[in-house]
Amino acid sequence: MSRKALIAANWKMYKTPAEALAFVDAFLPLVTGHTRDEIALFPSPVLLPTVIPACKGSNIAVGAQNIHFAEEGAYTGETSIGQLKALGGTHVLIGHSERRQYFCETDEIVNKKLHAALKAGLIPVVCIGEVLQEREAGKTSDVLKTQVTGAFAGITPEAAEPIVIAYEPVWAIGTGKTATPEIAEDAHRTIRAEVAKLLGANVASSMRILYGGSVKPDNVTALMAQEDIDGALVGGASLKPESFSAIAKY
């Protein structure tokens, strides 16, 4: 089963609107006509009204780093799916480890957000991954299974088709320590097997599983050569057009 890779930029809390626009202006010509992979940018919510129109008509999709599961309401500081969609956003990150670590996001919240994103027709990128202590204690596969099961509660095989998973070992995020291709592949296989158990072999074999954690132009090729790695979620190395386009063209 061939899966079209997704190469995604997680800009986190970086860039002003002017810097975001300068990135897009420099980046688009570097990836013109690149159709082998899907490419997506995930900027801060205040940058969406700048980045989405700037990417319109190009081969670059744009999504949010987070959304609330409620349609609207008294949730100070949050962004609704309706607001994202009204701007033309198509993708959303859900449950990034920084959201889990600093903003108390649980598997239950991730699950609610996933249901809401699917209902609205967004492409959700569900982030999972173990912390260093869990890896060292030999609990990686248990943690991944728990996170997948929690995120996918109540999701049917029919509804699951747009879902993308991003495996991001927390110890490799922003640390310069990348998982070796073998370590990453091993985790991806565990995740795919768990998806198969929950949603069936067909859904599992077509679901894209991205790797994230210190992906750079010089390590992306070896990671992408692994059978179960279907793309990358890139933080630090996605902030510069040259480096992110080099990753997209691995």
Structure token pair of residue 3: 């899966």
Q: Is 144 in the site for ligand PGA (CB under 6 A)?
A: no
From the list 213, 228, 231, 250, which residue makes contact with ligand PGA (rule: CB under 6 A)?
213
Instruction: Return the residue nearest ligand PGA (CB atom).
Output: 235
CA distance 41 to 64: 8
Stretch that binds ligand PGA, among 110-118, 129-137, 153-161, 213-221 (CB under 6 A): 213-221
Nearer to ligand PGA, 164 or 198 (CB): 164
Q: Does the protein bind ligand PGA through residue 89 (CB under 6 A)? A: no
Q: Which one of 214, 224, 241, 247 is in contact with ligand PGA (CB under 6 A)?
A: 214
Contact (CB, 8 A) for 68 and 112: no
168 lies in the binding site for ligand PGA (CB under 6 A) = yes
Distance of alpha carbon 161 from the chain centroid: 15
Active site residues: 96, 168
Alpha carbons 25 and 21: distance in angstroms, whole number: 6
Q: Out of 49, 82, 174, 200, name the contact with ligand PGA by CB under 6 A.
A: 174
Q: Which two tokens stand for residue 237?
A: 């190395």
What residues does 41 pair with on adjacent strands? 9, 62
3-class SS shares of the chain: helix, strand, coil, % to 5? 45, 15, 40
- Interacting positions 225-244 with ligand PGA (CB under 6 A): 233-237
